[in-house]
């Protein structure tokens, strides 16, 4: 479904642009239909760069990203706009995901408006309330501003908001790292439940081993911009081959 091959991205820095950091260095992986694929790695190993390139926010230096046979990395902006329905993303910081100047209701209604999913105001309203109900956020809270609701609520809303356009691929960029443990469990349960319900594919990016273990079927381990090991979750967690993976496993408490 999503096929990433030989993807490279480097950033230049320094006064004369003489320092070069290979953020993502020649990585390849595939995500199949209905699969949750995990990408683990320490801070600064290129996980987020990868997800940003898949979303089209960054242009890769070389390599290709193919989604159902279509090349994403060279796609035009207006083609991307149509593509957004198929690929959605959940960000790390739940409160920063929403426009601070608009109410929770308007934030949730936005994808419905953008893709003309509702024919009337009433239908839009009922769909938004459905979204709120499905994650246990009370309807009175729809008139609040994003900073007035809790992080867990905001993150659950951002997940159902992303799913409201029925995407085929969801990218979760560390969706639980800003939340406390009890809320993490709720968010993970929500992601798993929605995945079962709709059969979407998920690219789950995280540095949290336990979360990845609980969610993913296949896992890739990244270090310094390279994928050092890839395999089923069972293989990676129980029989890690690469030294970095072993080190990562042993560093977990």
Partner 1 sequence: MKNNLNKVIDFLNRKNVMLFVGGACCTILILVTILAPILELHDPTEMNLSASFMAPCANYPFGTDNLGRCIYSRVIEGSRISLTTASIVVILSAAIGTVVGLIFGYSGGITDAVVMRIVDIFLAFPTIVFALAVSTVLGTGQKNLIIAICCIQWTRYARMARGEVVLLKNAEYIEAAKAMGNNKFQIIFKYLLPNVASKILILMSLDIGSIILYCASLSFLGLGAQPPSPDWGAMISDGKDYLRFSPWMSLFPGLSIAFSALSFNMLGDGLRDLIDPRMRESVNPE
114 binds partner 1 (CB under 8 A): yes
Footprint on residues 139-178 left by partner 1 (CB under 8 A): 158, 161-162, 165
Which residues on neighbouring strands pair with residue 38, listed in sequence order? 204, 219
91 binds partner 1 (CB under 8 A): yes
Number of C-beta neighbours around residue 182 at 10 A: 8
User: Which lies closer to partner 1 via its Cβ, residue 26 or residue 86?
Assistant: 86
With CB under 8 A as the contact rule, the residue among 1, 8, 75, 96 that binds partner 1 is 96
Query: What whole-number distance in Å separates Cα of residue 228 and Cα of residue 225?
Result: 9
DSSP letter string, 55-123: TTSS--SEEEEEETTEESTT--HHHHHHHTTTEEEE-S-GGGSS-TTS-HHHHHHHHHHHTT--SSHHH
Give the residue carrying structure tokens 């408490």. 253
Q: Which tokens go with 119? A: 């024919």
Footprint on residues 31-70 left by partner 1 (CB under 8 A): 55, 57
Residue 13 CB, shortest distance to partner 1, in Å, is 16
With CB under 8 A as the contact rule, the residue among 59, 76, 101, 116 that binds partner 1 is 101
204 binds partner 1 (CB under 8 A): no
With CB under 8 A as the contact rule, the residue among 40, 89, 188, 202 that binds partner 1 is 89
Number of C-beta neighbours around residue 224 at 10 A: 16
List residues binding partner 1 (CB under 8 A). Answer: 55, 57, 77-78, 81, 84-85, 88-89, 91-93, 96-102, 110-111, 114-115, 158, 161-162, 165
């Amino acid at each position: 479904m999503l096929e990433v091959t030989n993807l490279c991205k480097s950033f230049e820095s320094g006064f004369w642009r003489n320092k070069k950091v290979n953020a993502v260095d020649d990585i390849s992986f595939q995500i199949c239909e209905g699969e949750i694929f995990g990408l683990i790695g320490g801070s600064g190993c290129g996980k987020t760069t990868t997800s940003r390139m898949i979303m089209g926010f960054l242009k890769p230096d070389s390599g290709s990203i193919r989604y159902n046979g279509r090349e994403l990395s060279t796609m035009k902006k207006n083609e991307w706009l149509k593509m957004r329905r198929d690929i959605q993303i959940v960000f790390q910081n739940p409160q920063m995901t929403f426009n601070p100047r608009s109410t929770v209701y308007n934030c949730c209604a936005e994808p419905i408006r953008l893709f003309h999913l509702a024919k009337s105001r009433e239908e839009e309203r009922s769909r938004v309330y459905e979204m709120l109900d499905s994650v246990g956020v009370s309807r009175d809270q729809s008139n609040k501003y994003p900073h007035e609701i809790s992080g867990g609520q905001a993150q659950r809303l951002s997940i159902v908001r992303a799913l409201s356009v029925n995407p085929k691929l969801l990218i979760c960029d560390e969706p639980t790292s800003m939340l406390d443990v009890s809320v993490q469990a709720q968010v993970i349960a929500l992601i798993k439940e929605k995945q079962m319900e709709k059969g979407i594919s998920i690219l789950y990016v995280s540095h949290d081993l336990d979360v990845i273990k609980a969610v993913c079927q296949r896992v890739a381990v990244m270090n310094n911009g390279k994928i050092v090991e890839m395999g089923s979750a069972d293989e990676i967690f129980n029989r890690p081959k690469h030294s970095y993976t072993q080190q990562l496993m042993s560093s977990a408490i």
